[in-house]
């Protein structure tokens, strides 16, 4: 759900950040860079080689049965697989920053199925589970007994799921600006554009509208967005024009199938007794999530080592590369084997958590497909029959309907979105988030009184829902 912060919060943030101590001897950064707005949209993106094409690094394609994954290897020592963000991104985001680890660590870069230089087949039906299994097949194909799994952003979600599903293959887990993999509306970013001024916000909104209308390619979108201030969402240090070119032209794939289901998983409590050594790295200025993220992550990973990076945003390894290399190197040198009986005990617990989720996720997918293929009327009849025959059982996950509802809402199919959110409330009547979503749908449909009613119900269930408080005030004016 997209939330907007109040003017007061923005003002407080700007005052707070302007008073922060800044690093010495660094290039322009989030706190010092002057706004730079281009006069027009740049359609012809400058050329720049892939960094891996000019690097002295081992390159190969690994056959994992039905797919070939592109893979690069450099260095010697503890094996560490690098799982990039996305969905749809590639391993190039790690170049050249992580090369500094190669003296002590054997780095394995790879492109996930359907991404970058790995095999891609349109409409193949990719899934989150498939991505996890691909990673295990890659380990086996490379003849690695155990490895450290480093996941950045969305890749951190892959790393967490992989650790739960294949704990015997993991000697250590590193989460860098990772998706939390916990379903909690309080995790949503309050304002990821806080560092952009009004002129920059207006420009990047214009660029977003162009790509949504099909008037820009994704490469053109990423490049123009970055050079007009969009870089501030994920970086502390301002990237060069060449870096922006490389970022925009790394063959990002936007196939909905690649990202259709990872938001359904909730690993809350799964890592509370995890014995596998874990390192969590977070940038102080990462605004892709709310301030609740770090406390919730540490609560879910109580045994993890935590490292905050004072002059980093989302891309920590490019913002503070030297410190990042040192932190990871020191942590890797301290790794110890986990006793098999301790690991097995945790594995039994996670199998129980995962088993319950997978069944409900499967049901959710089937129900969403029914809605899309046969329509809401047919789906609601199926739901009613299911509830009569399965008293107390859940047919779908709450988040699956929220994601689907917003898909319709963003497509301006307001009536369908409203009915989906109403069905979600029927299944999850105690969910503050479900009422909040319905309130937003009614508001966009111009039904303000119904919007107020649902925001008030959301607030009653969760008195800390700042978005509901704000929307009630706005709607009552």
Give, for 72, the enclosing helix (H) or strand (E): strand 68-74
- Domain extent, residue 464, equals 348-476
Q: What is the 3 state secondary structure string of 313-356?
A: CCCHHHHCHHHHHHHHHHHHHCCCCCCHHHHHHHHHHHHHHHHH
Of the three residues 338, 358, 377, the one that is the final residue of a domain is: 338
Instruction: Evaluate whether residue 37 is within a structural domain.
Output: no
More confident residue, 245 or 174: 174
301 with 363, same domain: the answer is no
Q: What is the CATH number of the domain that holds 378?
A: 1.25.40.10
278 with 179, same domain: the answer is yes
10 Å Cβ neighbour count for 109?
Answer: 26
Q: Which pLDDT does position 6 carry in this prediction?
A: 31
Proportion of the chain in helix, strand, coil states, percent, rounded to 5 = 50, 10, 40
Residue 207 makes CB contacts below 8 A (sequence gap 6+) with: 41, 216, 221, 224, 225, 228, 230
392 with 460, same domain: the answer is yes
Pure H helices in 75-187: 128-141, 154-165
Of the three residues 317, 338, 359, the one that is the final residue of a domain is: 338
More confident residue, 385 or 11: 385
Of the three residues 316, 338, 360, the one that is the final residue of a domain is: 338
275 with 422, same domain: the answer is no
330 with 382, same domain: the answer is no
Confidence bin at 155 (pLDDT 50/70/90): very high
Whole-number Å distance between alpha carbons of 154 and 256:
15
323 with 381, same domain: the answer is no
CA 178 to chain centre: 7
Residue 231 makes CB contacts below 8 A (sequence gap 6+) with: 238, 239, 244
307 with 372, same domain: the answer is no
Instruction: Evaluate whether residue 378 is within a structural domain.
Output: yes
Q: How many structural domains comprise the chain?
A: 2
Whole-number Å distance between alpha carbons of 392 and 381:
17
354 with 321, same domain: the answer is no
Residue 403 makes CB contacts below 8 A (sequence gap 6+) with: 263, 264
Answer yes or no: are the C-beta atoms of 134 and 268 closer than 8 Å. no
On the question of pLDDT at 13 being above 60, the answer is: no
Whole-number Å distance between alpha carbons of 225 and 244:
10
273 with 316, same domain: the answer is yes
Report the percent of the chain where pLDDT is more than 90. Answer: 54
Q: Which pLDDT does position 260 carry in this prediction?
A: 62
Instruction: Evaluate whether residue 304 is within a structural domain.
Output: yes
Question: Mean pLDDT over residues 414-434, rounded?
Answer: 93
Whether residue 87 is preceded by a cis peptide bond, meaning omega within 30 degrees of 0, is: yes
Instruction: Evaluate whether residue 4 is within a structural domain.
Output: no
Instruction: Evaluate whether residue 196 is within a structural domain.
Output: no
For 360-404, write each residue's pLDDT tens digit.
Answer: 888 888 899 899 999 999 999 999 999 888 888 888 888 889 889
334 with 353, same domain: the answer is no
Instruction: Evaluate whether residue 215 is within a structural domain.
Output: no
327 with 390, same domain: the answer is no
Q: Which pLDDT does position 354 carry in this prediction?
A: 81
For 127-153, write each residue's pLDDT tens digit.
Answer: 888 899 999 999 999 999 999 999 999
Nearest in space to 423 (alpha carbons), one of 364, 361, 356, 469: 364
On the question of pLDDT at 407 being above 50, the answer is: yes
For 81-98, write each residue's pLDDT tens digit.
Answer: 999 998 888 999 999 999
Q: Which pLDDT does position 49 carry in this prediction?
A: 82
Q: What is the CATH number of the domain that holds 141?
A: 3.40.50.1820
279 with 302, same domain: the answer is yes
Instruction: Evaluate whether residue 333 is within a structural domain.
Output: yes
Instruction: Evaluate whether residue 15 is within a structural domain.
Output: no
């Amino acid at each position: 759900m997209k939330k907007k912060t109040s003017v007061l919060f923005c003002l407080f943030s700007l005052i707070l950040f302007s008073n922060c101590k800044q690093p010495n001897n660094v290039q322009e950064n989030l706190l010092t860079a002057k706004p730079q707005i281009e006069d027009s949209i740049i359609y012809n993106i400058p050329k720049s080689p892939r960094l891996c094409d000019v690097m002295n690094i081992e390159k190969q394609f690994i056959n994992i049965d039905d797919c070939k994954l592109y893979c690069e290897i450099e260095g010697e020592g503890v094996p560490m697989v690098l799982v990039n963000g996305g969905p749809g991104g590639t391993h190039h985001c790690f170049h050249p920053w992580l090369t500094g680890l190669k003296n002590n660590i054997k780095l394995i870069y790879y492109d996930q199925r359907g991404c970058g230089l790995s095999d891609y087949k349109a409409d193949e039906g990719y899934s989150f589970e498939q991505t996890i299994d691909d990673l295990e097949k890659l380990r086996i194909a490379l003849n690695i007994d155990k490895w450290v799994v480093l996941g950045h952003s969305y890749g951190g979600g892959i790393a967490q799921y992989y650790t739960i599903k294949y704990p015997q293959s993991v000697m250590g887990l590193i989460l860098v600006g990772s998706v939390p993999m916990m379903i909690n509306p309080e995790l949503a970013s309050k304002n990821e554009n806080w560092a952009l001024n009004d002129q920059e916000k207006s420009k990047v909104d214009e660029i977003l509208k162009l790509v949504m209308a099909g008037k820009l390619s994704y490469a053109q979108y990423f490049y123009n967005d970055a050079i007009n201030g969009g870089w501030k969402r994920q970086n502390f240090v301002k990237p060069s024009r060449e870096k922006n070119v490389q970022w925009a032209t790394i063959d990002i794939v936007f196939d909905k199938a690649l990202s259709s289901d990872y938001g359904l998983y909730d690993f809350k409590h799964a890592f509370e007794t995890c014995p596998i050594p874990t390192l969590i790295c977070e940038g102080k200025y990462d605004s892709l999530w709310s301030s609740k993220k770090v406390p919730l992550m540490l609560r879910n990973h109580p045994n993890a080592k935590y490292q905050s990076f004072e002059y980093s945003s989302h891309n920590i390894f490019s913002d503070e590369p030297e410190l990042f290399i040192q932190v990871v190197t020191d942590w890797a040198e301290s790794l110890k084997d986990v006793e098999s009986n301790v690991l097995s005990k945790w594995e039994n617990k996670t199998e129980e958590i995962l088993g319950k989720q997978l069944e409900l996720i499967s049901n959710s997918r089937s129900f969403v497909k029914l809605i899309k293929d046969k329509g809401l009327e047919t789906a609601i009849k199926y739901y009613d029959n299911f509830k009569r025959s399965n008293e107390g059982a859940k047919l779908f996950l709450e988040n699956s309907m929220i994601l689907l509802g917003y898909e319709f809402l963003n497509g301006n199919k307001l009536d369908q979105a409203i009915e989906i959110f109403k069905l979600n409330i029927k299944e999850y009547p105690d969910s503050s988030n479900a009422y909040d979503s319905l309130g937003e749908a009614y508001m966009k449909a111009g039904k303000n009184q119904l919007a107020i009613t649902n925001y008030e119900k959301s607030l009653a269930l969760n008195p800390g829902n700042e978005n509901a408080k704000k929307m009630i005030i706005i709607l009552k004016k």
